[in-house]
Amino acid sequence: MNEAPLYLRIADLLVEIDGWDDGLRAFRKFSVDPSALDAEPVPDLRVKYVPSVTEEPWLRLHRLLSEALIEKDVLLFHASAVALDGEGYAFTAPSGTGKSTHAALWKLYYGERLVFVNDDKPFLVFRDEEVFIAGSPWMGKHRRGENVTVPLRGIAFLNRDKENRLTGLSPVDGYMELMKQVFLPPTKEGMEKVLALLERVVTKVPCYRLACTPDQAAVEAASEMLRREGQ
């Protein structure tokens, strides 16, 4: 059993994980070498991992971390997020709709200008009056993501269609959709916190509906997000 804590940098936070004895390659873009820290490091957040028989360890740790991060105004978001020239865009939809596919098409289209922030579950980060999107070790099955935090400039709710069209979504409608795609804590207090954070998202970040085909034309339609100031 490895008694030494694990240190990760997630968004702007130094996170200490205690009780995790299974080193994983998945952490490597996020782990902090202890020699780079002070002799007595002061983490921003401590998460105690305690195994359970019902929950698979990697998922359990993700859930414990996600719950703890809410206190630091960091919220798990089920989306595929990219950064184009350092500006973040997120695509979200029910599983299987094609958000990973769409993000991959952005990479093909924009090449070097585009990096994946996180292809499965990035974190929304609330700092001052801004909303950012950040990478995380849990990157989904394609393992696409980086340890970056970028300002979030648009959220597109995807659905498959025969034609490509981007339309603006009102803040309230965006809010209702977002609620289905973020981590919802089990407590009332946690829930109130998340609802307040969601309100900040839709007042700051333009939301859109994107009807799209699984090909390059979809990226052209979606790229209208880059040119709009909002609705």
Partner 1 sequence: MKIKDGFIMRDVLDKTMVVPTEEAGKDLHGFIRLNATGKFIWNAIAEGKTIEETAKAMTEAYEGLSEEQALLDVQGFVEKMKEAGVFEE
Residues that bind partner 1 (CB under 8 A): 171-172, 175-176, 179-180, 184-188, 190-192, 195, 198-199, 202-203
Least distance to partner 1, CB of residue 134, Å: 24
Q: Tell me the β-bridge partners of 46.
A: 16
Dist CA 93 CA 41 (whole Å):
39
**Residue 205: which of 176, 180, 225, 183 has the closest Cα?**
225
Contact 145, 117 (CB under 8 A): yes
Which has the closest alpha carbon to 12: 147, 118, 167? 147
Query: Shortest approach of partner 1 to residue 68 CB, angstroms?
Result: 16
Give the nearer residue to partner 1 in terms of CB position, either 145 or 171. Answer: 171
Least CB distance from residue 67 to partner 1, whole Å? 11
What's the min distance (Å) between Cβ of 171 and partner 1?
Answer: 6
Query: Minimal distance in Å, beta carbon 164 to partner 1?
Result: 28
Residue 188 burial class via C-beta count within 10 angstroms: exposed 0-12, middle 13-18, buried 19 and up: exposed
**Nearest residue (CB) to partner 1, 30 versus 126:** 126
Between 81 and 178, whose beta carbon lies closer to partner 1? 178
Cα→Cα distances 201→121, 124, 151, Å: 16, 9, 12
**74 φ, ψ to 5°?**
-125, 125
Report the residue number, 18 or 177, with the smaller CB distance to partner 1. 177
Nearer to partner 1, 44 or 199 (CB): 199
